[in-house]
Structure 1
Amino acid sequence: MTRTTTRPRRRSADALAAALATLALGLGGAPPAAADDPGRAGQVEVPAGVSAGVAVFDRTTGTFTERHNENQKFRSASVVKLLIALDYLRTHDPRTLPAADRTRLDAMLRRSDDNAASHYWALGGRTAIVDRSVARLGLTDTDRPPAGYEDYWGYVSLSAADTVRIYRYLLDTAEAPVRDYVMGNLRQTTRCGADGFDQHFGIPGSFERPYAVKQGWSGFGASGDCGPKPAAAARNARAAAGVDLTKEALHTTGTVGPDDRAIVAVFTLHPDGTPYGSAYTAVNRLTRSLDVPGAARPAGTWVGTWGSGVKVRPRPTTVDSAPLTSLPAGVEVLVSCQKEGQEVTVPPYTNTWWAYLPQYGGYMTNIYLRSPGNQLPGVPLCSS
């Protein structure tokens, strides 16, 4: 089930287009559309039914390796917390922040805490944050929330191209204390968000460290699945300025590889009613299809799961092996090996085999894996 794909080298004829895109980013202009780059056709594997905007920028060569609808605007969800943090740190030295501020900012960047974002959104003048960010960072696709929704920071619109600009500003232009503080937090992103959603999809689900990420999700209700969640906010069925505000949105952004070599921005919308685990899996598949320079990919076999609230445990047993976390319902997981352990019965099934999930650091019973037998075919035995 594991597939290895060898990508062809980018054609030298694309170098001029890439250089123009890089120049446009530096000047705040929009890069050429993906259709202008013949080397990009068909490279990004977008799952059926998913709308995506993608950009991957190689900081070593100064060129894009992936561009797909990179100027399409999406509601930002929590990705806008990058702009909220940068705007606040514009006038506050991260080295001398009061303890309360540091705690709140850390939570916003690592755990995607919404209360912290709302605090700084109001403190910074709400939409004034967007106006300042557009001017300072040379953003071309970023807009305020629609009229009447100024309190909804997650309705700020962003594109993959502008997200690359944000990370390039952070890495190459921002003062060192700001860069080190923000990137340091993004390197410590927690598996579970403050609202109980598993945020280990996309970049952290597809590549080995080093990486730094800021994720975004919106419209999924309470189906995360890291545990209890606050009540879901009512969904607003309005679309404005061509930006969809209702479909389930799942975004993964950040840097990958030594010295933050690649900047990756993946924005996605999913058919209305898509479960979180299905969107999670779709974003992982899309992200794994990308050409990301400097990325190390984890070894193992991707396998689908069924059931909800499936537990991952430190050992292949439920005895004295308290759950580490729960899986989002129906998510695809990476299995590196399997071993026999405690017999588990979920009528009408009984199984003694457990799969090790390296990205979760624990085991799940094979009962909940989509496999024809008790033991996964082609998956090796765990050595210990």
Structure 2
Amino acid sequence: MAMKTLNSERGGRFARSARRRVVHAGVCAAALAALVGTTATAASAEVPAPPPAVQVYVPAGVTAGVAVFDRQTGAFTEQLNTAGQFRSASVVKLLIALDVLWNRTPDSLPAADRSRVDSMLRGSDDAAASTFWANNGGGAIIDRMIPRLGLTDTARPPSTHPGFWGYTALSARDTVKIYRYLLDSAPAAVRDYMLGNLRQSTRCATDGYDQHFGIAGSFNRPWAVKQGWSGFSSGGCTAPAAAAAKEPAGTVAKEPQAGTKAGSGTRSPAGADAVDLARPALHTTGVVGAGDRSIVVVYTLHPTGTSYGKAYTDVGRLTRSLNVPGASRPAGTWVGTWGSGVRVRAQTTTTSGALTTLPAGVEVLVGCQKRGQQVSAPPYVNDWWAYLPQYGGYMTNIYLSVPENQIPGVPVC
């Protein structure tokens, strides 16, 4: 029978796809069309596969700054626009945390501050970052950290937006310096504490965005990541009750409030180069492999209006194209999805617990598939379910972009 939608699996609404296809591991196919509201369709244009281990694959329309540093050889294996400045979004939380811990041990922090650092590094907590920004001098934090770490492309937020810590300018090469300091020069207690938190990165950030894109999705553990995002309206994971108000009253906001956000083409007047404050930004940074062998930094800007799922997918494809020494790549098949509010469940039934929701239109890694509860949205039915090892649960195959009920080439669980 034909495969289509189920209302109970996507928040009570129907969506239909005219055409679907599978994207196998190591092959880049077309991204799905961006979703508007709660509906989606599959894209039809094919994207050529990147040459293996030859160059960084940058999806069409994406601006990227990339660096991969092999700590074992002391050399870069990937470099692309490494000096280019990007608004940091939440990656700047690394500098905020290092400033808090400068000349201090983690054990000496007041309990409230230690809790904020934990939440800021694991769940990318904006309220915690805003508290430190307000209490520790705002842009002076960046001014202090530049000479401490020998940063050359980093700059505090522009004078037009002094309170928006996410507008701090960072480059790929400066971010490599931050991680090299943390790994090789920071006091052992600080290193172990910060990396320990980054290794415990939660899939759902405190603002309801799925933050396991890029490094976290492309490579098996061990890894430690600090991600960043800005300019998107919805990020997948079910948001906590407080998500709508990202910072409590009295703290400094990460982004301009509604009606004051920088418009299309707006750029910062501060820093060594102009910094784009308008296009959606999605960044993945961290360390990968045994002994934290490789430092991986990927900064990206996406065309205005790009959905989070589309950007998430593009950053994943870019990251998977990189030469990362010491990295172990997960087994499975990358498959596109469609629809919004698609749930990942503990078992192959619509009554089993929902583990999370997927960013609309994102690619997922499928390990195997099995038959389960038949899902129907007349006249369409499907009883196949896909196991997503990176989520530890199942999704109905109805929302996978494949032409049949069963995914070709994927084993049965």
Alignment TM-score > 0.5, same fold: yes
Deviations 1:276-295 (A, max 9, x none): 00000000000000000000
The structure, 1 or 2, with the larger RCO (C-alpha pairs under 8 Å, 6+ apart) is: 2
1:59 alignment partner AA: R
Distance in structure 2 (CA, Å) of the matches to 1:128 and 1:103:
23
Distance in structure 2 (CA, Å) of the matches to 1:181 and 1:346:
50
CA RMSD of aligned residues (A): 1.5
Q: Give 2:403's match in structure 1, choosing from 360, 364, 372.
A: 372
Deviations 1:247-272 (A, max 9, x none): 00000000000010000000000000
Q: Give 2:303's match in structure 1, choosing from 244, 251, 271.
A: 271
Higher helix share: 1
Equivalent runs, 1:1-384 vs 2, <5 Å = 1-3=23-25, 43-221=55-233, 223-228=234-239, 229-230=243-244, 233-234=257-258, 235-237=261-263, 238-241=266-269, 242-319=274-351, 321-382=352-413
User: 1:92 offset after TM fit, Å?
Assistant: 2.9
Contact 2:87 2:168 in 1 (8 A): yes
- In the superposition, the TM-score normalised over structure 2's length comes to 0.82
Mind listing any 5+ residue stretches in structure 2 that lack a counterpart? 1-22, 28-51, 247-256
Distance in structure 2 (CA, Å) of the matches to 1:282 and 1:53:
14
Secondary structure in 2 matching 1:54: strand
Deviations 1:45-100 (A, max 9, x none): 00111000000000000000000001100000000000000001004320222221
Contact 1:346 1:367 in 2 (8 A): no
Secondary structure in 2 matching 1:324: strand
1:311 alignment partner AA: R
Contact 1:203 1:213 in 2 (8 A): yes
Structure 1 residues 146 and 42, CA gap change in structure 2 (3 angstroms): farther
User: 1:348 offset after TM fit, Å?
Assistant: 4.1
1:85 alignment partner AA: A
Distance in structure 2 (CA, Å) of the matches to 1:189 and 1:347:
40
Distance in structure 1 (CA, Å) of the matches to 2:72 and 2:91:
24
Q: How many residues align?
A: 346
- Tell me the percent identity: 67
User: 1:240 offset after TM fit, Å?
Assistant: 1.5
User: 1:347 offset after TM fit, Å?
Assistant: 4.2
Deviations 1:327-380 (A, max 9, x none): 000000000100000011134421000000000000000000000000001000
User: 1:244 offset after TM fit, Å?
Assistant: 0.5
- In the superposition, the TM-score normalised over structure 1's length comes to 0.88
Distance in structure 2 (CA, Å) of the matches to 1:295 and 1:145:
34
Distance in structure 1 (CA, Å) of the matches to 2:83 and 2:94:
18
Structure 1 residues 205 and 304, CA gap change in structure 2 (3 angstroms): same
Secondary structure in 1 matching 2:390: coil
Distance in structure 1 (CA, Å) of the matches to 2:122 and 2:25:
32
Distance in structure 1 (CA, Å) of the matches to 2:71 and 2:144:
25
